[in-house]
Amino acid sequence: MSDCKENDLPAIREFDGLDWFFTKTYRRNLPHWELKGSTYFITTRVVGELGSPFLNPELAQLVIEALFRYHEKKYLLHAYVVMPDHLHLIIKPLDDVTLAQIYKEFKGSTAFYINKRLNRRGQFWQAENFDHLIRDGMGLRLKWEYIKENPVKANLVAKAEDYPFSNFYNPS
């Protein structure tokens, strides 16, 4: 995983005009684009009635462990933050792994274990994710900063480096 320095962003495949011919698109409630070799900014949320389960550090850590379980097997994990009721990621799927495959495995396994710990059954994650194909270096920098600063904007910490459920965490 990247070392999270702002001047050391990961290299990405930049989108060019010809890529439109190779981009797979589909739509549920949101539009989704998929292009082999690309990097994505992803947001996934828990179902509304669950409130903020990741205020529980044990559950937040379970999600982080799952993210790393698939790192370098299904995708490269470049950045993440686990917020109280959602998470943001920057990932690059490996080889022929699709976003749908990543979502199914990650969300299925984490939902199973979190539901077990919460002594509940049923849907844990919202069915649809927001995914954004990062098209260029400026887009990557914007999403990188968004992930880094999200805990600060949510008034969870004063400095991004103080938030323990992010790859930007740097305890003093």
Helices (H), 13-136: 57-70, 99-118
Written as six digits, the tokens of 31 are 């539009």
* 61 in any annotated domain: yes
* 7 in any annotated domain: no
The 10 Å Cβ neighbour count of residue 45 is 15
* 4 in any annotated domain: no
Confidence at residue 13, expressed as pLDDT on a 0 to 100 scale: 83
Consecutive 10-residue averages of pLDDT for the chain (172 residues): 59 77 67 80 95 97 97 96 98 93 96 96 93 92 97 98 96 80
Confidence at residue 82, expressed as pLDDT on a 0 to 100 scale: 98
Confidence at residue 116, expressed as pLDDT on a 0 to 100 scale: 96
Task: Give CA–CA dist 152/161, Å, rounded.
Answer: 9
Task: Give CA–CA dist 25/31, Å, rounded.
Answer: 7
Number of domains present in the structure of the chain: 1
* 63 in any annotated domain: yes
User: Would you call 47 exposed, middle or buried from its count of C-beta atoms within 10 A (0-12, 13-18, 19+)?
Assistant: middle
User: Would you call 104 exposed, middle or buried from its count of C-beta atoms within 10 A (0-12, 13-18, 19+)?
Assistant: exposed
Confidence at residue 4, expressed as pLDDT on a 0 to 100 scale: 47
Confidence at residue 106, expressed as pLDDT on a 0 to 100 scale: 96
* 141 in any annotated domain: no
Task: Give CA–CA dist 135/20, Å, rounded.
Answer: 12
For residue 118, the enclosing domain spans: 24-136
* 154 in any annotated domain: no
Written as six digits, the tokens of 30 are 């949101």
Task: Give CA–CA dist 68/84, Å, rounded.
Answer: 19
- pTM for the whole thing? 0.88
Parallel, antiparallel, or unpaired: how do β-strands 75-82 and 86-93 relate? Answer: antiparallel
Residue 20 per-residue DSSP state? G
CATH number of residue 90's parent domain: 3.30.70.1290
